[in-house]
Amino acid sequence: MNTLPDFDRLARLERLAARMDTAFGIPGTRYRIGWDTLLGLVPGVGDALALTPAAYIVLESHRMGLPRHKLVRQGVNCAVDFAVGSVPILGDLFDAGFKANRRNVAILREDLERRAATATPTQKAPAKGEGHLSSHHPGLGGGA
């Protein structure tokens, strides 16, 4: 497992969460909704379709080393979003305000920032161009 936070992957997840939860402004208000809310309006399959990107965020969080208790929090957010969002009309209103994807990415960001702040000097990221297969390893075909 990589102990260093991957903020590029986090940025991609944040963009996905924004598309799902806050992609569109509601004219004349300060409220924003996303594809999650719009998909939830489709009876039967909409909430199930919206669960796929939410599950992907949790999976990526796991791959990025998020601790189990925080993964559980993310899972609960997804379950609440799915269960309550499945209720016609009231669930759609709840879904527009709950924004589970943004909550889950915030949980991941908080953990990654904490890990980055507590990383020891030996855990710091290698300089750009450096790594296991850099040119400083002549035995691996590099040009040093």
List the pLDDT tens digit at each of the 144 positions of the chain. Answer: 445 568 899 999 999 999 999 999 999 999 999 999 999 888 878 889 999 999 999 999 999 999 999 999 999 999 999 999 888 889 889 988 999 999 999 999 999 999 999 877 665 555 555 444 444 444 444 444
The domain segmentation of the chain, as residue ranges, is 46-86, 88-119
pTM assigned to the model: 0.77
Helices (H), the chain: 7-22, 35-40, 46-63, 68-85, 90-98, 100-118
Among candidates 51, 62, 66, which has minimal Cα distance to 111?
Answer: 66
CA dihedral 125, 126, 132, 136 (to 10 degrees): -170
Cβ atoms of residues 104 and 95 within 8 Å = no
Q: Which residue has the tokens 């489709």?
A: 42
